[in-house]
Amino acid sequence: MKGWRGLAAGAAALAVAVSGCGTSTSGSGTETKEITVWLMDGSAAPTLTDALNKEFESANGIKVKYEVQKWTGIQEKLTTALASSTPPDVIELGNTQTASFADQGTLADLTADAGQFNSGEWLGGLKDSLTLNGKQYGVPFYAANRTVIYRTDLLQAAGVTTPPASRAEWIDAINKLKAANASNPDFQALYLPGQSWYFLLSLIWDEGGDIAKQDAGKWTGTLDTPQAKAGFEAYKAIYEASATKKVPADIDEAKPQQMEVFGTGNVGMMVGLPWELGGAVKAKPDLADKTSAFPIPSKKAGASAPVFLGGSNLAIPTSSKNTEAAKKYLALLSSKKYQDMLAEGGAVPGTSKDTAKLATNAVGKALAASSPNGKVTPVTPKWAAVEAGQNPLKDALTAYLTGAKTLDQATKDASDAITKAMA
């Protein structure tokens, strides 16, 4: 997915990072004068990267050739670069891309080095995203997850004075919002398109289900299990409650951009990412004082539902000539100083569970509360084709919500399609 944006362990990593003052040896044993680092546009603030690169250069005597890349076309650009004899030395890639590049043999195995990157502080979902066949092919960079973003003024006017603490309370709040705005035929208590499959994952996981399972190296779709079906049923219940005038069942949150819909004034809530709220506020600055967020509620009162952790990993290409210097760069970035800076910028830090710097506003608090319960999609090179192609989860949602298929048929067809795609 595209990137978004313990003290003792941090100190240890920093010590490793700065221990090699002067020049450094590369993977081939020759002297290193410069490393090339590719990070994605919008991933880290210039204040962080400027400080990081300056500290690394001063401590190691190695120049950082820092290049910011665009997400558009990055898959092809990375494929070409990693196949060359002179790739970048540190790269950022989406956490759903990592398994594919690792399977191609183009990413260095960092399993033995994970300790110097604060591996004890990695969130489980982030570690899963870079682990293939028991080996770790990168370092978590940052993550973000969806929360329920809402209009504080509209909820208060509807008599909802505290954020819902369970799925039942959330549906009750949706109904109260809808009733309070019954005179507006365009009002949507919750903007929920029919194909918001990342939100569907939260409901499936909350019910104890999953997308697929692996047995003896073979993946099989599991959307037709009772637990996964319960997730679909929960989605339908929320979808049906969300508005008198339903959002089409055959669109997702990107078409139209739901942040634009949220900014119309006819929406009370949306399940979205921090940057989507940022986009809405940028277009309508008066929303800044009228919005807040809470974690997606679990069916269990007082708990949050599991969430998809989207974000990025950092890796070292197998053919890098400066492997040891690149490891030192990642070790420095993994230190508490720079993890705190990531959190201050609004991201879930990749190599630190300390989110105190993140939880300084309502959206950050919601992210911090739900991220420890985060998960990722199946970690296999073949998942990318499922997500980017004729996504079976989207098809199942549309068919089920419109009545074109029964729940049993929609989920069986989706499971079969996933099994076939991942064979």
Residue 2: CA count within 13 A, CB half-sphere: 12
pLDDT at 118: 97
What secondary structure letter does DSSP report for 373?
G
- From CA 336, how far away is CA 342, in angstroms rounded? 10
Residue 2's Cβ-count burial label (10 Å; 0-12, 13-18, 19+) is middle
Q: Where do the DSSP E strands lie in 48-133? A: 63-69, 90-94, 131-132
pLDDT of residue 266: 95
Structural contact between residues 7 and 36, judged by C-beta atoms closer than 8 angstroms: no
Axis-axis angle for helices 7-18, 46-60 (nearest 10): 50
DSSP codes of every residue in 15-34: HHHHSS-S-EE-TTSSEE-E
Class for the domain spanning 147-308+379-422: alpha beta
Distance CA 350, CA 39 (A): 15
Positions of CATH 3.40.190.10 in the chain = 34-144+310-375, 147-308+379-422
Q: Which CATH architecture has domain 34-144+310-375?
A: 3-Layer(aba) Sandwich (3.40)
pLDDT, one tens digit per residue, over 369-408 is 999 999 999 999 999 888 877 899 999 999 999 999 999 9
Give the pLDDT confidence score for residue 31 in this predicted structure.
Answer: 66
Question: β-pairing, 131-132 with 135-136?
Answer: antiparallel
Say what the pTM is: 0.89
Residue 46's H or E segment, with its range, is: helix 46-60
220 burial (CB, 10 Å; 0-12 / 13-18 / 19+) is middle
- Cα–Cα distance list, 173 to 97, 159, 163, 249, 314 (Å): 38, 9, 9, 22, 40
Instruction: Please give the chain's pLDDT, 423 residues, in tens.
Output: 444 332 223 322 323 332 333 333 444 445 689 999 999 999 999 999 999 999 999 999 999 999 999 999 999 999 999 999 999 999 999 998 999 999 999 999 999 999 999 999 999 999 999 999 999 999 999 999 999 999 999 999 999 999 999 999 999 999 999 999 999 999 999 999 999 999 999 999 999 999 999 998 899 999 999 999 999 999 999 999 999 888 999 999 998 999 999 999 999 999 999 999 999 999 999 999 999 999 999 999 999 999 999 999 999 999 999 999 999 999 999 999 999 999 999 999 999 999 999 999 999 999 999 999 999 999 999 998 888 778 999 999 999 999 999 999 999 999 999 999 999
Q: Which two tokens stand for residue 288?
A: 């800044």
Contact 56, 324 (CB under 8 A): no
Query: What are the start-end ranges of the E strands in 217-290?
Result: 218-221, 267-272
Residue 220 DSSP SS3:
strand
Helix, strand and coil content of the chain, in percent to the nearest 5, comes to 45, 20, 35
The pLDDT of residue 26: 42
**Structure-block tokens of residue 210:** 């999953």
Task: Determine contact, residues 274/368, Cβ cutoff 8 Å.
Answer: no
H or E, element range at 387: helix 383-388
**Which tokens in the block code for residue 326?**
């690149």
Residues 128-156 pLDDT 10s? 999 999 999 999 999 999 999 999 999 99
DSSP, residue by residue, 127-167: HHHTEETTEE-SEEEEEE--EEEEEHHHHHHTT--S---SH
